[in-house]
């Protein structure tokens, strides 16, 4: 028996609705959003808060939003456990914050939509194979730091500096990527970058101490393991008069002299917009991985004084925020 043209069209429409329904969630429906990060620190926590606030601004709030969050406390094995747990709960979207958490979640599911964020290099981390057309169930945001601008800031504040010490986690993909980028960008500015490996947060103090007498400044990138123990680096800097600079603006209030970086709360809001697109029916694999374009300069003259440095007036005048 032949089917009518209208019958075929109706069947196609029904199939399209079924496919769309696999992703679409109305703002009036209760929606489970599962969020996880490799470690707690101010920048990653700001991302989490930004995601939640953007969802609420778009109408996913109150009884209509079940927003759950878990931290892996710096342990990749725990990150994998959290990923498997979240997959078992079948949320509408999983939002992993940081490279290790994103790798754990992407390895755990090929069906549940994943919107990663605060990932330095999604290609190198093997989260996607194409930034413009990620494919599958994954998309997100890269927070590749403006390392060249950050090192240029150090050069402006310390014109005679020759060596930069950089604590980093050699076991984390983003830490390695940032180290390699710092060496490349540093060479162009006349810096020699000295590695100070720290696999665990408890290793950060020792890593920073290994730089005493060897470097003119310490640069802490957005390596999550190092940022989580940033106070240890600042202590070494103050005690030994080694200027400490950061790759994220949140660390300036924690004792860095200065940083050019992103407002990670804004990164969270931008991530939240991607999550909303998925909830409204777009397939994650059709959404290009986004970057962060706007950077800000934060300075802390009190920290500079404690480390024996004076921030030039030209730098002070450009600062978006002066931390007192």
Q: Is the pLDDT of residue 79 over 60?
A: yes
Position 293 scores a pLDDT of 72
- Taking 60 as the threshold, does the pLDDT of residue 38 lie above it? yes
Interval 190-218: pLDDT, tens: 999 999 999 999 999 999 999 999 999 99
Q: Are the CB atoms for 212 and 233 separated by under 8 Å?
A: no
- Reply yes or no on whether the pLDDT at 14 is more than 60: no
In the predicted model, is pLDDT for residue 65 greater than 60?
A: yes
Say which residues have a Cβ less than 8 Å from residue 16's Cβ, sequence separation at least 6: none
With cut-offs at 50, 70 and 90, classify the pLDDT of residue 173.
confident
Q: How confident is the model at residue 324 (pLDDT cuts 50, 70, 90)?
A: confident
DSSP codes, 241-287: T--EEESSGGGGTTT-SEEEE--HHHHHHHHHHHHHHHHTT--GGGS
The percentage of residues in the chain with a pLDDT greater than 90, rounded to a whole number, is 83
Residue 232: exposed, middle, or buried by beta-carbon count in 10 A (0-12, 13-18, 19+)? buried
All domains of the chain in start order, with CATH: 23-143+264-286 (3.40.50.2300), 147-261+296-322 (3.40.50.2300)
What is the rounded average pLDDT for all residues in the chain? 91
Which whole number is the average pLDDT over 172-187? 93
8 A C-beta contact, residue 267 and residue 50? yes
pLDDT at res. 6: 40
Q: Give me the residue label for tokens 């194409």.
A: 130
What is the per-residue pLDDT across 248-268, written as a single tens digit (0 to 9) for each?
999 999 999 999 998 899 999
| pLDDT-derived band at 12, boundaries 50, 70, 90 | very low
> 52 near 273, Cβ under 8 Å?
no
DSSP helix/strand/coil, 181: helix
10 Å CB burial of residue 111 (0-12, 13-18, 19+) is: exposed
User: What is the CB-side half-sphere exposure of residue 271 using CA atoms within 13 A?
Assistant: 35
Q: Measured between alpha carbons, how far is 105 from 81 in angstroms, rounded to an integer?
A: 9
225-235: pLDDT as tens digits: 999 999 999 99
Q: Where are the beta strands (DSSP E) in the chain?
A: 31-37, 65-71, 93-97, 114-119, 138-142, 163-168, 192-197, 217-220, 244-246, 258-261, 296-299, 321-322
């Amino acid at each position: 028996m032949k089917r009518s043209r209208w019958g075929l069209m109706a069947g196609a429409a029904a199939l399209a609705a079924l496919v769309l329904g696999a992703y679409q969630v109305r703002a009036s429906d209760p929606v489970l959003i599962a969020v996880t990060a490799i470690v707690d620190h101010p920048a990653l926590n700001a991302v989490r808060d930004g995601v939640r606030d953007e969802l609420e601004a778009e109408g996913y709030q109150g009884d209509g939003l079940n927003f759950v969050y878990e931290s892996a406390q710096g342990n990749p094995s725990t990150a994998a456990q959290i990923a498997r747990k979240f997959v078992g709960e079948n949320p509408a979207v999983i939002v992993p914050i940081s490279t290790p958490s994103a790798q754990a979640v992407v390895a755990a599911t090929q069906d549940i939509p994943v919107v990663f964020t605060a990932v330095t290099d999604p290609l190198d981390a093997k989260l996607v194979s194409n930034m413009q057309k990620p494919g599958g169930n994954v998309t997100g945001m890269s927070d590749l730091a403006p390392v060249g601008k950050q090192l240029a800031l150090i050069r402006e504040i310390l014109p005679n500096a020759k060596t930069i010490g950089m604590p980093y986690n050699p076991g984390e993909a983003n830490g390695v990527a940032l180290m390699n980028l710092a060496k490349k960008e540093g060479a162009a500015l006349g810096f020699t970058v000295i590695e100070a490996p720290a696999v665990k947060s408890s290793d950060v103090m020792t890593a920073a101490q290994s730089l005493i007498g060897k470097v003119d400044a310490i640069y802490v990138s957005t390596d999550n393991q190092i940022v989580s123990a940033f106070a240890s680096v600042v202590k070494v800097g103050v005690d030994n008069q080694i200027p400490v600079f950061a790759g994220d603006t949140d660390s300036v209030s924690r004792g860095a002299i200065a940083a050019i970086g992103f407002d990670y709360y804004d990164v969270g809001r931008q991530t939240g917009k991607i999550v909303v697109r998925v909830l409204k029916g777009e397939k994650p694999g059709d959404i290009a991985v986004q970057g962060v374009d706007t950077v800000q300069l934060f300075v802390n003259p009190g920290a500079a004084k404690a480390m024996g440095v004076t921030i030039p007036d030209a730098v002070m005048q450009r600062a978006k925020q002066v931390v007192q």
